[in-house]
Amino acid sequence: MSHGTTHEMRHRKGISLLPIGHDDYQRTLGSLPQWYELNAVCSTCHRTVHVDRYEMARRFGGDRKVGSLANKLVCQGCGNRQGNMLMIGMMPRD
């Protein structure tokens, strides 16, 4: 049994999720601040999936509006594609 001598709470990824505001929905993929992580939340089963915004930008183009991606989302858990939301994950910066 090993317990660290320091308070090691950070081996878990501490990403806090926030709902994306309307302003952010108007932003394009390419103009999002670097520390924005996108996460998709299924409206049916609440499964949360990390979205690779850079892959999205490659696939849909960097001038694609973030808000227009929400209805492209298909849940990998239940297959739902209605009403899915995008959330912003703030990477802890230190």
**Structure tokens given for 13:** 């990824």
When asked if residue 17 is in the footprint of Zn ion (CB under 5 A), the reply is no
**Count of residues in the chain:** 94
**Residue 74 beta carbon to Zn ion: minimum distance, rounded to whole angstroms:** 9
Residue closer to Zn ion (CB basis): 17 or 45: 45
Residue closer to Zn ion (CB basis): 28 or 44: 44
Phi-psi label, residue 14: left if phi above 0, alpha if psi -120 to 50, beta otherwise: beta
Single-letter code of the amino acid located at 70: A
**Residue 86 beta carbon to Zn ion: minimum distance, rounded to whole angstroms:** 14
Residue closer to Zn ion (CB basis): 26 or 82: 82
Residue closer to Zn ion (CB basis): 79 or 92: 79
When asked if residue 48 is in the footprint of Zn ion (CB under 5 A), the reply is no
**Stretch of 6-14, 48-56, 66-74, 77-85 lying at the interface with Zn ion (CB under 5 A):** 77-85
Q: How far apart are CA 91 and CA 69, in angstroms?
A: 21
> Counting Cβ atoms within 10 Å, is residue 11 exposed (0-12), middle (13-18) or buried (19+)?
exposed
